[in-house]
């Protein structure tokens, strides 16, 4: 292995990999926080939530830098509902508190 290749590998492991992991962790936590805040604000209790990466329900063609959840909720009257929830805005992603 050449010195240049070794240096590139070391830089990748030391700098890029931790940034990638931090980004994934932040996205996961932020998505769940936005979803939880939306549910509380609208009087829902989240019974079940699942992040969807490929099967995005009604958001399939219109999702940008957002997270899509399939959720089961209980409303204020005890009625259970299933829904698709998209967190974040198209351009600013999870820097926004938008929920649809």
Domain ranges in the chain are 3-87
The arithmetic mean of pLDDT across residues 9-31, rounded, is 89
Distances from the Cα of 95 to the Cα of 34, 49, 59, 69, angstroms: 10, 21, 19, 17
| 78 neighbors 44 (Cβ within 8 angstroms) | no
pTM: 0.84
Gap between the Cα atoms of 80 and 84, Å rounded: 14
pLDDT band for position 84 (cuts 50, 70, 90): very high
DSSP state of 4: H
pLDDT at 98 over 60: yes
Instruction: Tell me the pLDDT tens digit for each residue of 25-74.
Output: 999 999 999 999 999 999 999 999 999 999 999 998 888 889 999 999 99
């Amino acid at each position: 292995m050449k010195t240049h290749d070794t240096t590139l590998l070391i830089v990748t492991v030391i700098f890029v990999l931790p940034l990638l992991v931090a980004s994934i962790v932040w996205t996961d936590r932020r998505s769940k926080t936005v979803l939880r805040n939306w549910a509380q604000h609208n009087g829902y209790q989240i019974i079940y939530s699942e992040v969807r990466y490929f099967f995005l329900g009604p958001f399939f063609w219109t999702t940008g830098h957002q997270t899509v959840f399939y959720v089961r909720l209980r409303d204020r009257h005890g009625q259970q509902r299933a829904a698709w929830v998209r967190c974040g805005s198209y351009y600013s992603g999870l820097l926004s508190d938008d929920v649809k």
